[in-house]
Amino acid sequence: MPYVNVGKENSGEIELYYEDHGSGDPVVLIHGYPLSGASWEKQVPVLLAAGYRVITYDRRGFGKSSQPTTGYNYDTFAEDLHKLVTHLKLRDFTLVGFSMGGGEIARYVRKHGSKGVSRAVFISAVPPFLLKTTDNPEGVDGSVFEGIQKAIVADRYAFFTDFFKNFYNTDLLLGKRVSQQAVQASWNTAAGASATASLACVPTWHEDFREDLKRIDVPTLVIHGDADRIVPITAAGQRTAKLIKGARLFVVKDGPHCVTWTHADEVNSQLMNFLGKGAAKQTASAPRKDAVA
């Protein structure tokens, strides 16, 4: 299994697990909390079939990557991504970030610039700034994040059970767009994550990316469900699309947080069209849900 070394903690190496498949223009898929690169299973085959080289990786603390007790902040996450990109000698690559993964894209561009980056895609992503403050009234009250941290400390396994109900909007979509087995698989992945990472990542959800987003100068697509209970579209996707010049916003009607699974066909169609392939497959009668920000 391929790994890239991104640092050390005491006597142990910190390594990220990644998968690198196909050929053609590279697409790097960055997963969300508390999952792993395997969560892209509905996107990877479609991208490979369209002729792309597809790279997924597990963020430190999650999946098959090392589980250190340090480095759970976006400066480090972005540096981890940069080390992977450098290790693979990627050029003209697209960055696609789901949920927390959108933060990596924003911070990566701010720290390393957009050289080599051809496109950016934010899906249900946490930018620009989720914390409610005097200059950010659209954000979420800080007590919400504090409550999440307390729940994780008390019993992270019970927390994950409740978390995934809102991750997939199971009260509405279970048995229709997501199975109980798929929800259980997500829980299993979360349970295998580092306990330290599970808690330490929560404060990163309200990192301020407003200045980071202004640095993005490549074609950008923002995809967000209008029924997202984890990262509300009004606090995130809509504002991200406005802060990035020329960004396109696609709203998934009735889409929960994990639209990459529940609404995979819509997400994949938009992704393919944005990347420049698959446009011919879009029917003229298909309803438009997008708006140019």
* Ranges assigned E (strand) in 146-265: 220-225, 248-252
Identify whether 135 is a catalytic site residue. Answer: no
Q: Which of 25-34, 106-115, 225-234, 278-287 has the lowest mean pLDDT?
A: 278-287
Q: How far is CA 242 from CA 104, 120, 122, 217, 236, in A?
A: 19, 15, 13, 13, 10
Mean pLDDT of all residues in 131-158: 95
Q: Tell me the domains of the chain and their CATH numbers.
A: 3-292 (3.40.50.1820)
Q: Does the structure show a pLDDT above 80 at 277? A: no
Residue 22's region, left for phi above 0, alpha for psi from -120 to 50, else beta, is left
User: Looking at residue 138, what is its pLDDT?
Assistant: 87
Q: Report the alpha-carbon distance of residue 37 to residue 1 in Å, rounded.
A: 14
Identify whether 114 is a catalytic site residue. Answer: no
* This prediction's pTM: 0.93
- Strand (E) or helix (H) holding 19: strand 12-21
Identify whether 217 is a catalytic site residue. Answer: no
Q: Give the active site residue among 36, 257, 263, 269.
A: 257
Are 255 and 224 in contact by the 8 Å Cβ rule? The answer is yes
Q: Does the structure show a pLDDT above 90 at 234? A: yes
User: Looking at residue 149, what is its pLDDT?
Assistant: 98
pLDDT digits (tens, 9 = 90+) for 26-56: 999 999 999 999 999 999 999 999 999 999 9
Mean pLDDT of all residues in 261-287: 72
User: Looking at residue 285, what is its pLDDT?
Assistant: 32
Q: Give the active site residue among 99, 124, 186, 198.
A: 99
**Averaged pLDDT of the chain:** 94
Q: Give the active site residue among 39, 58, 228, 263.
A: 228
User: Looking at residue 255, what is its pLDDT?
Assistant: 98
pLDDT digits (tens, 9 = 90+) for 201-222: 999 999 999 999 999 999 999 9
